[in-house]
Chains A and B, each alone.
Chain A
Amino acid sequence: MESHKPDEPIIAELKRLQANTSGRRFWSWMFFLVITGVFLIAPLVASLVGDSNSELLQKRAKQDLVQQPSPTILAFDRVWNPGPLANAHQPWANDCRVCHSTGFGRVKDADCLTCHQTVGDHVTAKHPKIDGLNVTCASCHQDHNGAFSLAEQNKHFTQGNCSSCHSDLKTKMPETLTQNVSDFTKGHPTFRLQLALDPAQPTKLTRVRMEEGKVLQEPSNLKFPHNVHLTAEGVHSPKGIVKTTCASCHEPTLDKVGFKPVQFEKNCQSCHALKFEPTVSNREVPHGPVDAVLSTLREFYSYTKLNGLPMQTQPLTPLIQIGRPGEREPSAVSFTKRSGDDRAQASAAATELFEKTSCAICHEVQRVAGPGKPGTSGKDLPQWSIAPTPVAHTWMPQANFSHAAHLMQECSSCHEAKSSKKSAEVLMPAISGCKDCHAGTVPVAQRVSSDCGVCHNFHMNPDQQAVQKKSHAIPKQSSIQPSSYLFSSIGKSK
């Protein structure tokens, strides 16, 4: 029984202090309302009512690739952003709907393809749909995982996914030309190279699989023995003995991925001069069409005849050898002193040039019936045809091979050029050579661990794909200029 007076201040205070702390309900409601409002309602309203939405859809409809960032209302939905976007996607970080076009659904391929229109498919268009390959862009490319490229992100996560189909591809797609592959070390077929097998159709390329211990041949219509040019003693040149190396002719591209096309004027002519009247003049014929060569000769001898050889009777410079370097110099012949008219002189000079001293040194030359090209001064001379030489093309255009990444190696560690006697020999190294340094996915001592993504892309080059749609051949090499008819360049050209 409590005997205190009810209005005793201490008792009244204690009764107050005894009561439970209030505010639970108030603060619960506060937290609930504030969090729901800021983190659920506001972002949702911004997403649904965002004025960028209709604008974006219009741009989509017009396939306008350059979409300006158009944030939703105060970018309220940015609190939903789970992580940094890939650096290329960051301009759209305040407009979720650029990629997420519909609510409650994964990002659709169509959303990606609005911008990424040129990305290639995985297989030839002959097989647009493959069972088990019903992947979407988002299956592999997962954004919001950091500010780096999504292509880079996936490059090195491919191995398991690739081999899940490719280790038994022959069963899944019996008609495929691709062989089964499980791992670079344990199960990878030999390389298949794109070769121009028919010199008459230098742009028709066929894929041919390499065989271990056998050198593939790609007819070139050129006589170029690498071994003669890479001897230890060097070769004879107008400047004396010169030791030619690979780099004397094969100049890397700026990115050092591949090599510039070999050009006669740049890489051959200093030794293999195209002189036709060496005792009189240093004039050379152009390294060009037959009619240009013949017209040059025709005009030269007409001029000397007409003017009674007013030219320098002695060569301006010492004689440049016109025979093959290393061979005995044929005696210099002057056709100006020959009997007969200027046309006969030009004919004799042309025959000597085409069939003995110059063209025939490297080219397959054949005498053909005249007359020559109408409207050219050389049309009344004897005529020749030069067998077409292949346009420079890459042997493995889909492979991510960079010579820059292999600069620590000698050329000869991969390319057996020193023993190659014919230009037709494809000096692409065999896969066993790659395996000297590269292992598969499982790390091996002294080897570079290499999963599929090191050399392969998932998406085919769209150009390549368009071609493969028709056949396994690549016709388009329009970037190569006629002046650079040449030996096949090495590696990947971009």
Chain B
Amino acid sequence: MKENVLNISNNLFFKWALGLSLLSIALYILDDPRVAPNGGTWLGYTLGTIGALTIVFLTLFGVRKRSYRSNLGDLKYWLSAHVWLGLALVVIATLHTGFQFGWNVHTLAYVLTMLVVFSGIWGVYMYLRFPSLMSELLNSKTLIQQGEVLIEIDQGALKLLDSVEAGTFKNKALQLLKSAATEPISRGFWANLKSDYPNSASEIALTQFESMFLQGEQSARQLSQLMAKRVGQLKRIREFVQLKSLAGVWLIFHVPMSIGLLASLVAHIFSVFFYW
């Protein structure tokens, strides 16, 4: 199997995370707290300490990622440790709670931890899947170059229309080509994420030209072929934009949420020892 962020160094960090999780589960099963399992027993404090240190380490990944000159371990090892220890945190933090939840800062810290970790799982999926999908879509070109293909199509279509004699068809065709050419690629934040574009002007132009051709308008044939190309190219660009937006949204979720988690963790630890 190809080495990637998950199985790097012969599954080194997976083994660590698994070991840590199994050890936590074993201790939790063996421990017989006086009243009820909770964060305040010796095991609770132990798991809490391990969990807090893990969170600090996971957050340091963001620092290391930006320290381009750092020699402190290869970034891919950091990422692998980030992923696996993050998953182990699900076990450690859950056992630390002793399954006691409420509307308080303690459960808030837990919920934020889980949100960050589970968004991280989505992040890992994107990290492994998106680069190849995106380079396939770009097909050795830049996004701008892919955009230029659209412009070329539009210009070619206009050129075709030059040789058509003026009349109703030409007016209609000009109008269709214009609205296709001026159709914005993005329809905003949510549309980017869903990549759902009903009533696309390019598609309307395509179907119109097709039906005109079927009604006997010979000039519409080449135009419809060009519009079919345009629709395909637009789809390619929009799919790329979708992947890029998903990755971007993930970052503005995962990172700020982990900063929020750090704040709630500080409040959690402070309050626990303030009112010990």
Contact A30 B256 (CB under 8 A): yes
Residues of A contacting B104 in the complex (Cβ-Cβ under 8 angstroms): 78-82
CA distance A20 to B264 in the complex (A): 28
| Interface check A302, CB cutoff 8 A | no
Q: Mark B89-115, 1 if CB is under 8 A from A, else 0.
A: 000000000001011111010000000
Binds A, one of B14-22, B166-174, B178-186, B204-212: B178-186
Q: How many A residues touch the partner, as a band? A: 35 or more
* A145 → chain B closest CB, angstroms: 5
Contact B260 A35 (CB under 8 A): yes
Q: Mark B228-269, 1 if CB is under 8 A from A, else 0.
A: 000000000100010011011101100111011011101100
* B264 → chain A closest CB, angstroms: 5
Residues of A contacting B247 in the complex (Cβ-Cβ under 8 angstroms): 21
Known: A35-B264, A142-B40. A24 touches B251 (CB 8 A): yes
Residues of A contacting B36 in the complex (Cβ-Cβ under 8 angstroms): 145-146
* B23 → chain A closest CB, angstroms: 24
* A31 → chain B closest CB, angstroms: 3
Closest to B181 in A: A10
| A 1-28 contacts with B by CB, 8 A | 2-4, 8-11, 13-15, 17-18, 20-24, 26-28
Contact B263 A31 (CB under 8 A): yes
* B126 → chain A closest CB, angstroms: 13
Closest to B263 in A: A35
Closest to B41 in A: A142
| Interface check A228, CB cutoff 8 A | no
Q: How many B residues touch the partner, as a band? A: 35 or more
Closest to A13 in B: B185
Contact B147 A35 (CB under 8 A): no
| Interface check B68, CB cutoff 8 A | no
Q: Which of B147, B244, B275 contacts A10 (CB 8 A)?
A: B147
Binds B, one of A102-110, A119-127, A206-214, A386-394: A102-110
| Interface check B176, CB cutoff 8 A | no
Contact B105 A80 (CB under 8 A): yes
Contact B267 A17 (CB under 8 A): no
| Interface check A47, CB cutoff 8 A | yes
| B 52-69 contacts with A by CB, 8 A | none
| Interface check A75, CB cutoff 8 A | no
Residues of A contacting B39 in the complex (Cβ-Cβ under 8 angstroms): 82
Interface centre among A21, A22, A77, A96 (most CB of B within 10 A): A21
CA distance A484 to B256 in the complex (A): 78
Contact B273 A31 (CB under 8 A): no
Known: A28-B255, A145-B35. A11 touches B264 (CB 8 A): no
Known: A35-B108, A81-B104, A82-B39. A9 touches B273 (CB 8 A): no
| Interface check A43, CB cutoff 8 A | yes
| Interchain Cβ contacts under 8 Å between A and B, 10 examples | A4-B151, A11-B144, A17-B241, A23-B256, A28-B259, A31-B263, A39-B271, A44-B274, A100-B276, A142-B34
Contact surface of B with A, Cβ cutoff 8 Å: 34-36, 38-40, 100, 102-106, 108, 143-148, 150-151, 182, 184-186, 192, 237, 241, 244-245, 247-249, 251-252, 255-257, 259-260, 262-264, 266-267, 270-276
Closest A-B pairs by Cβ, 5 of them: A21-B248, A31-B260, A27-B256, A40-B267, A80-B271
